[in-house]
Every structure is written in C-alpha cells, then in structure tokens.
C-alpha cells in the first residue's frame, strides 16, 4: 500500500514541475517554487545575515 502511495506522490511531484531557486550569492539551493519563478534575485538566510 505504501509503495502505491509513494508512486502516486512521485508522479504528482513530477507533474508539478517545480523550479529550483538558488542563492544569488553562494549558489545554495534555497527553495522550490511553482512556475513562473519570481523575477527578483534570491538570497539564502545565511548570506542575508552576512550582508547588511
């Protein structure tokens, strides 16, 4: 039963086709969002703390 659920979830997530967002400073993966991706530059929490 769990295998069937996992298959369904995997198929659903693949269909969602989320876009990975990377930090514009260090390049770390920050989040996945549904298209369209936000036009603004993204900065991860670590870089946000360092930069004023």
Please report, as ranges, the residues that interact with Zn ion according to CB under 5 A: 23, 25-26, 28, 44, 47
Q: Nearest distance from residue 28's CB to Zn ion, in Å? A: 5
Q: Nearest distance from residue 13's CB to Zn ion, in Å? A: 25
Q: Nearest distance from residue 18's CB to Zn ion, in Å? A: 19
Q: Count the neighbouring beta carbons within 10 Å of the beta carbon of residue 48.
A: 12
By beta-carbon proximity to Zn ion, the closer residue of 21 and 25 is 25
Is 5:13 a contact under the CB 8 Å cutoff? no
SS3 of residue 45 by DSSP: helix
Question: Residue 20: beta bridge partners?
Answer: 32
């Amino acid at each position: 039963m769990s295998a069937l659920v996992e298959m369904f979830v995997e198929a659903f997530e693949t269909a969602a086709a989320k876009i990975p967002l990377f930090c514009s400073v260090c390049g770390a993966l920050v989040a996945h969002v549904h298209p369209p991706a936000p036009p603004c530059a993204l900065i991860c929490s670590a870089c946000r703390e360092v930069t004023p």
